[in-house]
């Protein structure tokens, strides 16, 4: 016996009616875009605060904050959570989504913005993971480093002026969605992100939680992106590897 299920759908209308409703929504979308432009303009008018030129352990050893800029005047950093001593599949699924959706900073570097990852784990632990995931952007360890007065957010923006470094912006929480265009693309579809907090019509599929829900951040025991990696293995219910 099979059970057939059918997802609810929007009402069906003629093309003229659909276009009229779409045009009405477009007016609001344009207002939303302009509101975002206005917020960005306010960010550009924030004051800045000087930070210490801390040194972090990177691929080439101790690296100062100033050195992370390279030839650029601006620097963006993102933090990566780390669960010490845990296998790859137990590492943060949210941080994996952030990094997987933004692996190549070529276009922001063309605008004079350097990019780096600040990982909470020690370099000897995260480097094999970085290699496994195929990441090529610079990673630096903040393990055991006092970051107070340097990075209050999960994404941080810095400006170099001579031999001084200033913080110009930070964000966390949903502000990190700037790193995950997959979410923004899902917002364009009829069922959205399918997360339980979303305002959707009654009966719309919403099997996922904003964090840790099955099928969105994780699949079969791993962060989703890990299943694309060569040689990846199955994980059993207890976290061990199946053979």
> Residue 213 pLDDT > 80, yes or no?
no
Report the number of distinct structural domains present in the chain: 1
CATH, residue 123: 3.40.30.10
**Would you say residue 210 has pLDDT above 80?**
no
39-49: pLDDT as tens digits:
999 999 999 99
| pLDDT for position 5 | 53
Evaluate whether residue 113 is within a structural domain: yes
Domain around 106: 49-176
Q: What is the mean pLDDT of the chain?
A: 92
pLDDT digits (tens, 9 = 90+) for 4-13: 458 899 999 9
- As a whole number of angstroms, the distance between CA 46 and CA 41 comes to 9
The answer to whether residue 127 sits within a structural domain is yes
Asked if residue 203 is part of any domain, the answer here is no
Q: What is the pTM of this model?
A: 0.91
């Amino acid at each position: 016996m099979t059970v057939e299920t059918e997802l609810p759908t929007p009402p069906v209308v003629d093309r003229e009616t659909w276009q009229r409703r779409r045009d009405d929504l477009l007016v609001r979308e344009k207002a939303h875009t302009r509101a975002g432009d206005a917020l960005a303009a306010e960010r550009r008018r924030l004051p800045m605060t000087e930070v210490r030129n801390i040194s972090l352990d990177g691929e080439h050893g101790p690296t100062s904050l100033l050195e992370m800029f390279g030839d650029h005047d601006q620097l963006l950093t993102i933090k990566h959570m780390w669960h010490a001593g845990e296998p790859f599949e137990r590492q943060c699924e949210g941080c994996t989504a952030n990094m997987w959706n933004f692996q190549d900073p070529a276009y922001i570097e063309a605008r004079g913005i350097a990019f780096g990852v600040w990982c909470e784990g020690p370099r000897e632990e995260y480097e094999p993971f970085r290699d496994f995931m195929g990441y090529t952007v610079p990673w630096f360890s903040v393990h055991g480093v006092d970051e107070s007065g340097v990075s209050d957010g999960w994404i941080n923006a810095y400006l170099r002026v001579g031999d001084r470094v200033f913080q110009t912006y930070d964000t966390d929480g949903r502000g990190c969605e700037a790193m995950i265009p997959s979410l923004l693309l899902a917002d364009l579809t009829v069922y959205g992100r399918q997360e339980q907090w979303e305002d959707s019509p009654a009966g719309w599929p919403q099997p996922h939680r904003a964090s840790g829900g099955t099928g969105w951040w994780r699949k079969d025991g791993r962060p989703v992106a890990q299943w694309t990696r060569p040689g990846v293995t199955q994980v059993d219910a207890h976290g061990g590897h199946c053979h």
